[in-house]
Amino acid sequence: MERQNTRIALAEDDVLLREGIASLLGASGYEIVCLAGDAGELLESVRQDTPDIVIIDIRMPPTCTTEGLDAAREIREEFPDAGILLLSAHVEVDHAMGLLATGHRVGYLLKDRVTSVDGFVEAIERIRAGDSVVDPVLVRELFAARRREDPLELLTPREREVLALMAEGRSNAGIAHKLWITEGTVEKHVRGIMSRMRLPETEDDHRRVLAVLTFLESR
């Protein structure tokens, strides 16, 4: 699917930010089918227009707590193949853990970490392709809050690096490129991680992300 055939719904209560993102995505070749200022408006549009990707601010009117996230959960239930990208000004990944743990066409980015159009478009493209995208800051936050008797203590420093990149949704090839090591070495580290954490080995990247995020949730 080319960008011009990718339909995007955008929900953001900040008018200037909403229009700015829409303008950038339109200039990048995407078709914007919905600009919503609240969760109700978004859900109505998604049910009518069935976009390929939905970009949602977690905190939306009227209470600005979890309305966006609640809408994202409904969308995932009704349209399981729709890509979902959560945006937030705060590190509140605990609330989104259930959605992120699906590991399928889902992402979570901090607004102040989106510093380039290319990076934002890359995240959208990865979600469109079926991958997961999790901001590294959120991954580090989860690692920092882990329990004392955390199985991560059994991992080597390199295995922790690999695990953090796995949690971001990167493939073995992506991890190898990031760490300047071979894919074979990455596969060895992944096997070690799965073994030490007592998680089943799998070649499915989505299940790897699910395993990582589910484990971190139990910190």
**pTM tops 0.75:** no
At 148 the pLDDT is 45
Q: Is a pLDDT exceeding 60 seen at residue 204?
A: no
Q: Is a pLDDT exceeding 80 seen at residue 95?
A: no
Q: How far is CA 171 from the centre of its chain?
A: 14
Q: Is a pLDDT exceeding 60 seen at residue 211?
A: no
Give the residue, 134 or 9, on which the prediction is more confident. Answer: 9
At 164 the pLDDT is 84
Average pLDDT score, the chain? 82
At 21 the pLDDT is 92
Distance in angstroms (rounded) separating the CA atoms of residues 33 and 172: 34
Contacts of 135 (CB under 8 A, 6+ apart): 108, 109, 110, 113, 168
Domain 140-217 = CATH 3.90.1300.10? no
At 136 the pLDDT is 79
Give domain limits for the chain. Answer: 3-133, 140-217
**Residue closest to 108 by CA, chosen among 57, 67, 70:** 57
Three-state SS string over 99-137 comes to HHCCCCCEEEEEHHHCCCHHHHHHHHHHHHCCCEEECHH
Q: Is a pLDDT exceeding 80 seen at residue 177?
A: yes
As a whole-number percent, the residues of the chain with pLDDT over 70 amount to 78
Architecture of domain 3-133: 3-Layer(aba) Sandwich (3.40)
